[in-house]
């Protein structure tokens, strides 16, 4: 089944694909092209999350979605840390088109404070961390509520990461599985 391109205006989100820039934990671009794709099941769950965020006067900003298996290997070879990265031998939910990294933004496009930046590989990024400001904890809980209500599961170590509950049932895909590739 082909992946669905997540592009405005079909999806009312902001795209800031971090791995097409140097603003990620590797310090270098991994993708040659900034793009977001999801499996159709994940795209449907994203549509539900977008609607729920709108009810709160908020929008979603996406940092990453489908990640080719080749990109997962690049990340793993840079930082083989299973606390924050899926071992590519098992396959990442991102490489199945069944995961998204994102945050909430207000009407002006400003990111809500989540206590850490995206891709901060520290315990302060864990969902339940209470060492961050109370307002950031509330924002994380708001994002968690929106996403889980829309049908997403969360990864406890990364406030920004959500995946379908049955993500491992989808096949691992690579760069060649997206028209024009990403890498």
pLDDT at 148: 98
In a domain, 182, yes or no: no
Instruction: Please provide the DSSP assignment of 111-133 as one string.
Output: BPP-SS-TT--SGGGSTT--SS-
In a domain, 108, yes or no: yes
List, for residues 34-46, the tens digit of each pLDDT value: 999 999 999 999 9
List, for residues 44-61, the tens digit of each pLDDT value: 999 999 999 999 999 999
pLDDT band, residue 108 (cuts 50/70/90): very high
In a domain, 52, yes or no: yes
In a domain, 68, yes or no: yes
In a domain, 96, yes or no: yes
List, for residues 111-127, the tens digit of each pLDDT value: 999 999 999 999 999 99
pLDDT at 1: 63
Helix (H, G, I), strand (E, B) or coil at 160: strand
Q: What is the total count of domains within the chain?
A: 1
What are the φ/ψ torsions at residue 103 (nearest 5 degrees)? -140, 180
pLDDT at 117: 96
Q: What pTM was estimated for this model as a whole?
A: 0.96
> What distance separates the 2 farthest-apart alpha carbons in the chain?
44
158 as an active site residue: the answer is yes
Domain assignment of residue 29, given as a range: 4-177
In a domain, 73, yes or no: yes
CATH number of the domain bearing residue 85: 3.30.1380.10
- Strand 59-64 to 152-155 pairing: unpaired
pLDDT at 97: 98
Above pLDDT 70, what percent of the chain? 99
From the candidates 83, 111, 158, 179, which is the catalytic residue?
158
In a domain, 139, yes or no: yes
Alpha-carbon separation of residue 134 from 21, 88, 141 (angstroms): 31, 35, 11
Q: State the Cα angle at 80 between 79 and 84, rounded to 5°.
A: 85
């Amino acid at each position: 089944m082909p992946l669905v391109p997540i592009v405005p205006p079909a999806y009312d989100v902001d795209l800031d694909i971090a791995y097409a820039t140097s603003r990620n934990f590797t310090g270098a671009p991994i993708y040659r092209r900034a793009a977001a794709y999801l499996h159709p099941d994940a795209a449907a769950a994203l549509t539900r999350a977008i609607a729920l965020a709108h009810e709160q006067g908020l929008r979603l900003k996406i940092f990453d979605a489908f990640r080719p298996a080749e990109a997962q290997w690049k990340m793993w070879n840079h930082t083989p840390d299973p606390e924050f990265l899926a071992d590519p031998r098992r396959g990442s939910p991102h490489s199945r088109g069944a995961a998204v990294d994102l945050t909430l933004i207000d009407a002006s496009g400003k990111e809500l404070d989540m206590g850490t930046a995206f891709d901060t590989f520290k315990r302060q990024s864990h969902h339940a961390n209470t060492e961050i400001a109370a307002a950031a904890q509330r924002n994380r809980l708001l994002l968690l509520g929106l996403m889980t209500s829309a049908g997403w599961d969360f990864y406890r170590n990364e406030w920004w990461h959500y995946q379908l509950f049955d993500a491992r049932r989808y096949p691992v895909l690579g760069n060649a599985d997206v028209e024009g590739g990403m890498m």
